Structure 1
Amino acid sequence: MKKKEEPIRIAQIIGKWLGGGVEAVVMNYYRHLDHSKVQFDFICDDDSTNIPYDEIEKLGGKVILIPPYQKVFKYQKELRRVLRDGKYKIVHSHINTLSVFPLYAAKKVGVPVRIAHSHSTTNKKEWKKNLLKQVLRPFSKKYATNYMCCSELAGRWLFGDKTYDEGKVYLLNNAIDLDKFKYDKKIKDKKRKELGIKEDTIVIGHIGRFVAQKNHTFLIDIFNQFHKKEKNSILLLAGQGPLQEEIKNKVRELGLNDSVRFLGQRNDANELYQVFDVFLLPSLYEGLPVVGVEAQASGLLCFFSDDMTKETKALDSTVFMSLSNTAEEWTGEILTNLKDYKRINTKNEVSDNGFDIEIEARKLEKYYIN
């Protein structure tokens, strides 16, 4: 009797698992791969939060905790041991410029395929964080054998124009399960009732970690202006992060306590999008935000900062605005567009732009197997 072939096990280097966009992308793909062919082992920092242990285990994967990269020697020693013991043929690192550290360990223990994946870019305002990024960026290709990115912008930023133009960077879309997010009036009504929101209230929504990159300060400024014009409106903020208290203080100072709700870390994002009328994402930078794709898949009117890649645009109705525009100008644009907006099922449009996980997961499977 022929022995059943074991799936290829791939070491996915996640870094600190905090329930952000990168983790969401990796899990989206993991759920939709054929696990008889491809399996993932998730290597995460031991101070991670929100790791979905049960789901990963159910799907046949493993979670392996190691010290964070800041503990240089411990990290290298432990990671090398894990990679050696796992006899991995492929290591796929998702930690942008920091990938140099795990891929160095992978090379040392003889892992033949070492993928560096760019999920992000940069912005001048986050200079401290950028300093490390800029120092490490030239080394991004040093220990990698393969390059991957979520958008052209992210690919060019990490690997350079020459490498990108030579076709050496594989573009993997931040695809999602479109059926899970498609517009559904029944869910919208049910969820609004659950949250105590009236049918005629205009709901502006945002999902993202409270970190400088997401630009919550400006988001609150925009809502403040919007609320002056539309009293029957609220802002829902889902997510957690180090700047949450600072943003709560700003909301208090502006007297918006009754109109801004902090929903914390959520597992029902797909239902929250149904509740929103408008999705706001005025980020300082993005690789390609998965929340932007999800919001469009839910048929929402979306406003993004033009500091992110235009590849995020999956609907004609989506608007990009400059961060040099004032909060009043953003508000004017929202009100104008909202007036005639009819929300519909946008599944086909979003799929045509390459964001259907059913299609994209098959491509990734082939990539790994070949």
Structure 2
Amino acid sequence: MGGGVEATVMNHYRHIDRDKVQFDFIVQDDSTVVPVDEIESLGGRVFTIPSYKQLPLYIKECEKLFRKLHPVIVHSHMNALSVFPLGAAKRAGVPVRIAHSHSTSNPREYAKTAVKMCLRPFSRVYPTHYAACSHYTAQWLFGSQLDKAGKVKIIRNAIEPETFHFNAAVRAAKRSELGIGDNQLLIGQVGRMCFQKNQLFTLDVFKQVLERRPDAILALAGDGDMMDEVRKRIHELGIERSVKVLGIRKDMNQLCQAFDVLALPSTYEGLSVVAVEAQTAGLPILASTNVSKETDVIPGLIQFIPLKNKAQWINAMVSAPVAEQHQDTHNLIRQAGYDITNSAQQLSGWYQKLFSEVQN
């Protein structure tokens, strides 16, 4: 755990009425940053099984666990891979099986895309119900007909808007902690170090930004399989003094206030949790055109730029203003349906309705 999907699940779990709905979590043995202590303190349980990379064993252990626990609902957040746990859930007699789509794919990830494309036709075989973070991701996995018929439950990547409410004192304190001057440009990127999030692209662009704004700083928050490659690229470009690799952070609400602009050059993306958080803090975003347009919640804060146009990315970063005050947008995010309290209440209601239908 530790990525956007995991953050969304945990946000809902923290705010759901746990006297009415309780979660058990199935995590894979290669998962990182699993908040076991927090989950157990909230009454949940964590079960660890082999990674889906050991597919026969993964499926066997899923089915074995479902037969042991007898859950009424299994809610899978594995996108196209949900076919495997939900297939096991059906064989184990689980009555309600939810497939949840969080992202799409990118043709340049040849192996992953090939697997996803092979599995997409099976996305409607085992689920009894469907969910997605946006209409874009719903239509990608389940097809436009199912989404347009209203058969996909849209569950927003909701957050706590009040914790992202811009505060000038928080901005000053966090920038001081990071060693950033009042007039220095601070570009941020947040996400798992992987091909999808495209940190290598950001580094190449930032190298050229430094030629025009030599005091600019790039802060990268996150971890992942490509961390070593990211550090190597920083060294090759000779920009070690201008790049801060922050690792996994738990202070996104404060970082969003410290940044002057957020880079989101994803090679593919559903509805980015980080983008919602950034907009809640009034932070301007530079996003690739591969990011879902549904991410544009607050008009005027996101600029969509093609990845093939590096010059435009460079110019946009160079011209980003260092502003002491971000827009006050947290109430607009709440009105747009991204308040976690309301979202968790709606999710609880949906679960209870599904449970009731099974009992009757």
TM-score range, shorter chain: over 0.9
Q: Does 1:305 align with 2:288?
A: yes
| 1:301 and 1:341 in contact (8 A); partners too | no
Structure 2 counterparts to residues 35-50 of structure 1, below 5 A? 35-50=18-33
Measure how far apart 1:348 and its partner are.
1.2
CA-to-aligned-CA distance 1:143-187 (integer Å, 9 cap, x gap): 000011111111001001111122111111111111122211111
Structure 2 counterparts to residues 188-203 of structure 1, below 5 A? 188-203=171-186
Check 1:89–1:233 CA distance in 2 against 1; reply closer, same or farther (3 A cut): same
Measure how far apart 1:335 and its partner are.
4.1
Check 1:162–1:185 CA distance in 2 against 1; reply closer, same or farther (3 A cut): same
> Structure 2: any 5+ residue segments left out of the alignment?
354-360
Measure how far apart 1:249 and its partner are.
2.1
Q: Residue 352 of structure 1 corresponds to which residue in structure 2? A: 335
Q: Residue 358 of structure 2 corresponds to which residue in structure 1? A: none
Q: Does 1:99 align with 2:93?
A: no
| 2:80 and 2:116 in contact (8 A); partners too | yes
| 2:190 and 2:274 in contact (8 A); partners too | yes
| 1:115 and 1:145 in contact (8 A); partners too | yes
- In 1, Cα distance between the equivalents of 2:39 and 2:323? 43
| 2:185 and 2:322 in contact (8 A); partners too | no
Measure how far apart 1:362 and its partner are.
1.2
Superposition RMSD in Å: 1.6
Q: Does 1:287 align with 2:255?
A: no
Measure how far apart 1:254 and its partner are.
2.0
| 2:171 and 2:257 in contact (8 A); partners too | yes
- In 1, Cα distance between the equivalents of 2:176 and 2:324? 23
Q: How many residues align?
A: 352
Measure how far apart 1:333 and its partner are.
2.7
| 1:205 and 1:279 in contact (8 A); partners too | yes
Check 1:72–1:333 CA distance in 2 against 1; reply closer, same or farther (3 A cut): closer
Amino acid aligned to 1:365: S
| 1:106 and 1:114 in contact (8 A); partners too | yes
| 1:147 and 1:170 in contact (8 A); partners too | yes
Amino acid aligned to 2:97: R
Measure how far apart 1:342 and its partner are.
5.1
- In 1, Cα distance between the equivalents of 2:165 and 2:66? 40
Q: Residue 244 of structure 1 corresponds to which residue in structure 2? A: 227
- In 1, Cα distance between the equivalents of 2:51 and 2:236? 37
- In 2, Cα distance between the equivalents of 1:77 and 1:343? 51
- In 2, Cα distance between the equivalents of 1:340 and 1:109? 56
Q: Which secondary structure state, in structure 2, belongs to the residue aligned with residue 266 of structure 1? A: coil
Q: Which secondary structure state, in structure 2, belongs to the residue aligned with residue 345 of structure 1? A: coil
Q: Does 1:205 align with 2:188?
A: yes
- In 2, Cα distance between the equivalents of 1:69 and 1:339? 45
- In 1, Cα distance between the equivalents of 2:226 and 2:29? 22
Q: Residue 221 of structure 1 corresponds to which residue in structure 2? A: 204
Amino acid aligned to 2:87: Y
Q: Residue 255 of structure 1 corresponds to which residue in structure 2? A: 238
Q: Residue 325 of structure 1 corresponds to which residue in structure 2? A: 309
CA-to-aligned-CA distance 1:280-326 (integer Å, 9 cap, x gap): 00000011110111111111111111111111112222211111212
Which residue of 130, 135, 151 corresponds with 2:113?
A: 130
Structure 2 counterparts to residues 134-145 of structure 1, below 5 A? 134-145=117-128
Q: Does 1:267 align with 2:235?
A: no
Q: Which secondary structure state, in structure 2, belongs to the residue aligned with residue 174 of structure 1? A: coil
- In 2, Cα distance between the equivalents of 1:222 and 1:56? 40
Q: Which has the higher contact order (CA 8 A, sep 6+)?
A: 2
Q: Which secondary structure state, in structure 2, belongs to the residue aligned with residue 212 of structure 1? A: coil
Q: Residue 168 of structure 2 corresponds to which residue in structure 1? A: 185
Check 1:197–1:334 CA distance in 2 against 1; reply closer, same or farther (3 A cut): closer
| 1:90 and 1:113 in contact (8 A); partners too | yes
Q: Does 1:67 align with 2:50?
A: yes
Q: Which secondary structure state, in structure 2, belongs to the residue aligned with residue 100 of structure 1? A: helix
Measure how far apart 1:337 and its partner are.
5.3
- In 2, Cα distance between the equivalents of 1:63 and 1:359? 26
Q: Which 10-residue stretch deviates more, 93-102 or 332-341?
A: 332-341
Q: Which 10-residue stretch deviates more, 283-292 or 182-191?
A: 182-191
Q: Which secondary structure state, in structure 2, belongs to the residue aligned with residue 78 of structure 1? A: helix
- In 2, Cα distance between the equivalents of 1:223 and 1:350? 30
| 1:301 and 1:338 in contact (8 A); partners too | no
Q: Which secondary structure state, in structure 1, belongs to the residue aligned with residue 246 of structure 2? A: strand
- In 1, Cα distance between the equivalents of 2:227 and 2:14? 31
> Structure 1: any 5+ residue segments left out of the alignment?
1-16
Measure how far apart 1:253 and its partner are.
2.2
Measure how far apart 1:339 and its partner are.
7.4
| 1:92 and 1:115 in contact (8 A); partners too | yes
Check 1:339–1:79 CA distance in 2 against 1; reply closer, same or farther (3 A cut): closer
- The alignment's TM-score, normalised by the length of structure 1, stands at 0.91
Q: Residue 363 of structure 1 corresponds to which residue in structure 2? A: 346
Q: Does 1:26 align with 2:13?
A: no
Amino acid aligned to 1:361: A
After the TM superposition, which parts of structure 1 deviate over 4 Å for at least 4 consecutive aligned residues?
339-342
